[in-house]
Each structure stands twice: as C-alpha cells, then as structure tokens.
Amino acid sequence: MLDWLIIGGGLHGAHAALKLTAQAGVAPDRLRILDPQPALLARWTQCTKNVEMAFLRSPLVHHIGLGAFDLFEFSRTAKGRPLAAFAAPYDRPGYALFQAHCRELLAQYRLPELHIRSRATGLRQLGERGWRVETPEGGLEARRVLLALGLSDRPAWPDWAQRLKAEGGPVRHVFDADFHTATLRAWRNAVVFGGGITAAQLALALGVRQPGSVTLLTPHPARIHQFDSDPGWLGPKNMRAFEAETSPVARRRMIQEARHRGSIPPDVHRDLRRAVRYGEVKLLEARVAAGSLANDGIYLDLDNGDRVRTDCLLLATGFEGKRPGGAWLDAAVAEWALPTAPCGYPVVSKALRWARGLYVMGPLAELELGPTARNIAGARKAADRLVQVVERCPAKTQVVV
C-alpha cells in the first residue's frame, strides 16, 4: 500500500508530489501520481502552447518549485540565463523560462518515475486503512489519496457551437484534448470566439501567422484586470473575511464575485489594440444569436444584426464550472457520503481533508482556499497545508487522518 496516491499530474499534482517528497519526507517509492497523459504537465503544456503565451499572467514567485525565489534563482543558472525574461508589472516570468524551470524540477526530483499512466475510474474506502483507486488496469491502494483534478478536460462549449460541431462544422475549442494550434491548416476567415486573455492571445498568434484573416469575436467589452482575481486574495487582506464566513453558499458567492472571468491584462490588451490598428486582427463585439452550417463554412448570426462567415471557428470560452472528476467521483461522493456544498464542490477541513485519508487541491479546494485555489498560487497554498498533514502525522505512526 502506498502512503500517497495523487490523482492528476498537472501543475498542482506535480507541485504536491515535489513538496511531499522533497520537503515533508515522504519516501518517493511510497508515492505515485496517476494521470492518463503521456507525461506530467502535459495538459498545461498543450493548453499554453495553443495560445502561444509569451509571459505568465502570474508573478515570479508563483511556480512549482519549493522556495518562493526558486524560479528567480533558476534564471541565473547556466540553463536558465539564456531564457531569463520577466515582464512588468510583478516580474511575470517568460513562458520559456517557466517551462524550463518545470522541466528542471521534474528531472531533478525524478518525478516522471512516480507517474503511473492511467485514469482513476472509481474510489473505494478501505475502512481506516485508506482508499482503493480503481483504474482500467486494476486497483491502487494508498493510505492517503489526493485529488488534484484540474478543469482542463472540460472545455466549455456554448450550445450553438455544440450543435455546429454535431453537424460536422469546422469548429474547435482551443482546449480540446486533440487540438494543437501549430497543426491548424490554412484558413480563409478564422473567427476566435471569446472575451478573455485566451481569446486575445490566440487571435494575436493567428494574426501573426495570417495577418488580416482573423476576427476576434468578443461577447463583451474588454474587462481589463492584471490578474484573474485581486492580489488581496493571496493573503489575509481578503482571505480573513472568506475564512470567517462559515456558509459554503456565501463562500461560493464571494469566489464568483472575486474572479474576473473573461478578463484580459493591460499588456495583452495593448498588443491586441496594436494588432487591430495594423490590420492583423479584426475586432467585433457581439453575441452569437445562432449559428448555421453551409457548404462554404459556418454562418454566425450576431445579436447586432450582422452575419459573419468563417471556415475556421475557434472557441476560447474557458472551462466548464462543474465540479471536476465526472461520473466516477459523483459515484464516490454518493457512496462515501462525502460532504458537498449546494454548488457540488467539496466541503473540506482546513487541512483540505474531505474524508479520512482523502484530500483535495485545485478547483476542488476552492471553498477552503478561495478564488486563487485553481491558480499556481493555490497549488502552493494547498501543498503547504498537505506538508503540515505529514508533519503532524508521519508515516511511521500508521494513523491515517
């Protein structure tokens, strides 16, 4: 039986594995990361490559290493120096530097050796001993299971776009599991639909490739915010009131109000305005009333009365807000009476414990960690709490909490 089984090998799961093994003293041969992707961080890398982002949105101290300034230290090493790039404000790291740092950490701490390439399909409690996680290849038993499921396998599709897809129209979501911007074939009139940073970055990238042939169709005026929630949510300034609130309904409301959905940082907005001025990208602000498929592509009827034709419709509409996991986790919630709020998300302890030996991070920890739970900062907060779980209750005590 393992000490820890982490389900999900994205930035969150990988950071937790690193902290638990390198800081909390969990023996690497007692911990595994379960993820169906061919490599750790694969979905993060695919989603970010697809939008061709140059800099992270988050600051220098948000990364998956151990100490807050690890990424900065890495930028001064022989491997990091050639890639060192930071954007003002907040010294946001260049994407290439961030990725190289991730690769370096995975290699240094040999995390790929802990990766089991499979998918969790069921969860069964083994009395006080721990949990059994079912996979198509058989069961894995662990004293503690950490759910680090991101949202990346649930791109959000508006109804009208789903209908076009079902009819076989040329429409993709930029976060589809099998979508790669780099392999996109030439188009005549591409339309990127979405109002936030992803849509802007994607339109800019395509506009460089085929200037003048890309329309960014945004359903609302630009919502300009540096981050996707106020930095006050990273510390006590905003979190004090959140933690004092005992109602999960009120906490969900606070999260919804705090998150700047569909927002765009000032520098990306500036780039977009410049691309529009130079005719690389066309900008259209309207909602889609209906979409129809014809021989020469997709026609979008807009709520301002206009009609747009496209042979390449790309959605940048983010991820579904539903609780991640899907059917197997829904079944576990019902079978093991795991407490949930009316929004469906876990109600967990301060230690992120959902049940004896069962822990969460990422979006699943949102009602405890607040609006930054799904960001890199949230991974760091969560992992710090998990380290404390181990420190309070090391493996040799054999007590599972």
Q: In terms of Cα–Cα distance, which of 3, 31, 29, 34 is closest to 17?
A: 31
Instruction: Give me the least distance between CB of 374 and ligand FAD, in Å please.
Output: 6
- The answer to whether residues 325 and 346 touch, using CB atoms and an 8 Å cutoff, is no
Q: How far is CA 52 from CA 181, 193, 196, 318, in A?
A: 9, 17, 15, 16
Instruction: Give me the least distance between CB of 228 and ligand FAD, in Å please.
Output: 8
Instruction: Give me the least distance between CB of 114 and ligand FAD, in Å please.
Output: 13
By the rule CB under 6 A, 231 interacts with ligand FAD: no
Which ranges of 311-375 does DSSP label H, i.e. alpha helix?
327-335, 366-369
Dihedral of CA atoms 103, 104, 108, 111 in degrees, nearest 10, equals -20
Please identify which residue in 64, 111, 114, 120 interacts with ligand FAD, judged by CB under 6 A: 120
Taking CB under 6 A as the rule, which mask of x and - marks residues 325-354 in contact with ligand FAD? ------------------------------
Nearer to ligand FAD among residue 36 and residue 219 (C-beta): 36
Length of the chain: 401
Instruction: Give me the least distance between CB of 217 and ligand FAD, in Å please.
Output: 19
Residue 133 in tokens? 């996680």
Residues 162-191 close enough to bind ligand FAD by CB under 6 A: none
Residue 286 in tokens? 């309207």
Q: In terms of Cα–Cα distance, which of 128, 119, 124 is closest to 141?
A: 124
Instruction: Give me the least distance between CB of 176 and ligand FAD, in Å please.
Output: 12
Nearer to ligand FAD among residue 56 and residue 352 (C-beta): 56
Q: What is the number of the residue whose Cβ is closest to ligand FAD?
A: 150
How many residues at the interface with ligand FAD, by CB under 6 A?
33
**DSSP-derived 3-state class of residue 92:** strand
- The answer to whether residues 238 and 258 touch, using CB atoms and an 8 Å cutoff, is yes
Instruction: Give me the least distance between CB of 282 and ligand FAD, in Å please.
Output: 23
Nearer to ligand FAD among residue 156 and residue 393 (C-beta): 156
135 C-beta neighbours (distance < 10 Å), count: 17
Please identify which residue in 102, 206, 308, 376 interacts with ligand FAD, judged by CB under 6 A: 376
Q: Which residue in the block uniquely carries the two structure tokens 């993820």?
A: 35
Taking CB under 6 A as the rule, which mask of x and - marks residues 29-68 in contact with ligand FAD? -----xxxx-----xx--xx--x----xxx---x------
Please identify which residue in 362, 369, 381, 385 interacts with ligand FAD, judged by CB under 6 A: 362
Please identify which residue in 71, 102, 149, 313 interacts with ligand FAD, judged by CB under 6 A: 149
Name the amino acid, one letter, at 383: A
Instruction: Give me the least distance between CB of 341 and ligand FAD, in Å please.
Output: 19
Taking CB under 6 A as the rule, which mask of x and - marks residues 6-25 in contact with ligand FAD? -xxxxxxx------------
Instruction: Give me the least distance between CB of 107 and ligand FAD, in Å please.
Output: 19
Extended strands (E) in 81-121: 86-87, 92-93, 115-116
Residue 109 in tokens? 């701490």
Q: How far is CA 149 from CA 153, 209, 324, in A?
A: 9, 34, 6
Please identify which residue in 21, 152, 189, 229 interacts with ligand FAD, judged by CB under 6 A: 152
Q: In terms of Cα–Cα distance, which of 3, 307, 264 is closest to 129?
A: 3
Give contact residues for ligand FAD (rule: CB under 6 A). 7-13, 34-37, 43-44, 47-48, 51, 56-58, 62, 119-120, 148-150, 152-153, 198, 362, 374-377
